[in-house]
Amino acid sequence: MKRWANWADSEPELERESQPKQTLKAAQLKFSTESQRLQYLASLQSLAEQAAAAVDELQTVQEKSAKLTATELKNELKSAAFGAGIDNENQLTESNIKSSDGEATTRKNLCGDTTASEKAQTIAAFIYCVCAGEQTDGGGNAKYCENTKVDNNNPGTGLTGVETATKDLISKCPDSSQKEISSAELLTLAAQFQAKIKTKNQGTYFGTFTANDCGGVSSSGVCVYYKATTKAEQKAARDIPWLQSIKQVATKVQQQQAARHRINGLRRLMAAIKGEAFNLKQEL
């Protein structure tokens, strides 16, 4: 019924043309006999069906594609990096780091130990856990990940100064790029991270782990640790929230790219059908 409605809508469009019957003339639709006209209409039926199907699919693909906006995808990546509603590292505070990462209250609580899995859910929290030693680790001067970071003079018994240390570490990262990122690039980054995950004593960790916990000192660990003795704990170690978000965004980017390709293909198909329809009378 939708196709018949589209065809019916086309008739008044033809009537409103600036030059009367312009389209009909271009298609040379003037017949010497009624038999010739009926033969043309019969031949045109298949092309009309193809065109209607292409228009229906184009509308569907465009509607679905419109829901996957660049803003939405960027917001998902920002949430993975910093937490929901936080646009960049400059907005990080001790309070919102805690609220974005399971309401953690101590270093061990945030980063994990052998008795309980970590609460870190964002990339920012992972950066802190893996790259910032605490006060007693060489006077806060131990270097992980980056040699020019500032000393972290805060104890692991709380999370005081977590935002300062995290912002400093992020400032050492390469500047962000303005180029469009592909789903393949996102999935490659995710795979590179997963390749660095290690296991030890029924636990899974990322970073440097020696024993007991990720308390921020070399004698124990500067890391993110997942206790993995049960199936639920093992699943949590696989389904790291920010990593899952990146994979989901990659899938959506892939869908968007596929939709763009399909839209272009449908437009080319419709142009070809139009050309064939205009030349149909000459072929009879």
Q: What is the pTM of this model?
A: 0.76
Q: Give the pLDDT mean for 253-258.
A: 89
Spatial separation of the C-alpha atoms in residues 38 and 133, rounded to whole Å: 84
Q: Does an H or E element contain 92, and which?
A: none
Please give the pLDDT value at position 118: 85
Q: Does residue 25 have a pLDDT over 70?
A: no
Strand partners of residue 116: 113
Of 72-81, 151-160, 161-170, 247-256, where does mean pLDDT reach its minimum?
151-160
DSSP string, the chain: -HHHHHHHHHHHHHHT-SSTTHHHHHTT---SSHHHHHHHHHHHHHHHHHHHHHHHHHHHHHHHHHTS-HHHHHHHHHHHHH-TT--SGGG--HHHHHHHTTT--SHHHHH-BTTB-----SHHHHHHHHHB--TTSGGGT-BSS-TTPPP----TTS-TTHHHHHHHHHHTSPPPP-SPPPHHHHHHHHHHHHHT-EE-SSEEEEEEE-SSB-SSBTTTEEEEEEE-SSHHHHHHHHS-HHHHHHHHHHHHHHHHHHHHHHHHHHHHHHHHHHHHHHHHHHH-
pLDDT tens digits, 45-54: 888 888 889 9
Largest CA distance in the chain: 99
Least confident of 23-32, 95-104, 230-239, 273-282: 23-32
Q: Name the one residue in this structure whose structure tokens are 């592909």.
A: 182
Q: What is the pLDDT of residue 133?
A: 85
Cα distance between residue 121 and residue 83, in whole Å = 8
Q: CA–CA separation, 266 vs 272, rounded Å?
A: 10
**If pLDDT is split at 50, 70 and 90, which confidence band does 238 have?**
confident
The full set of domain ranges for the chain reads 2-67+265-283, 71-174+181-239
pLDDT of residue 106: 93
Q: Which whole number is the average pLDDT over 225-231?
A: 88
The whole-number pLDDT of residue 282 equals: 63
